[in-house]
Amino acid sequence: LNSKLNLKLIKEAGYDYIVASRLKNMSKGILDRVFDEEGYQVLEEKKWRFDREIFGEEFRFKVIERENIIKTGEGEIFKIPENLIITYSSKRAKKDKEERQRLVEKAKELLERPGNVRAAEKRGGRKYLRRISESEEYVLDEEAIKRDEKFDGFYAIQTSKKEMSVTEVLNAYHDLWKIEQSF
């Protein structure tokens, strides 16, 4: 849903959006702001439906204003003003770490059976393998593991509805997430 062209079509139809956004695909400038501790805030529990079972003990957020620049196939450029709400959750950090460790274990298993590794496929445990020669020789990619570790606990939600408060956006997104989980 949240391809840039789809977001453009949503805005052209007169609607706004609240969608998840992949942090790992963000520009260096945005990522520098994400990982800068300055500007993070803690939401007051009474202002939103805070659930420690879902978010863990530590939950904080930062709002980054930006323009989403969309280039069409015809070379047209559109700019959509957005808020990027970056959240950090201790529970999500724990889950991300566990998932990465599971994939590292899969990568190690693949190294024991090199015939199962294909360089073109960077999914699952393969994303943590690096080819070291023209032959089918691989090693564990420690840099990729460290790079992914930086993102533990972070999540991004982008919205074109800039007048909505952070709590309104988080509650709306959380409600959407609950609906999606029921299917």
* pLDDT tens-digit series, residues 6-57: 999 999 999 999 999 999 999 999 999 999 999 999 876 655 555 555 555 6
pLDDT value at position 44?
67
pLDDT band for position 113 (cuts 50, 70, 90): confident
Task: Answer whether 170's CB lies under 8 Å from 20's CB.
Answer: no
Q: What is the pLDDT of residue 16?
A: 96
**pLDDT computed for residue 29 by the predictor:** 96
Q: What is the mean pLDDT of residues 79-84?
A: 97
Rounded Cα–Cα distance for residues 117 and 48 (Å): 46
Report field, pTM of the whole predicted structure over 0.95: no
Q: Are 77 and 71 in contact, with CB atoms under 8 Å apart? A: yes
**Per-domain residue ranges for the chain?**
4-91+153-181, 96-146
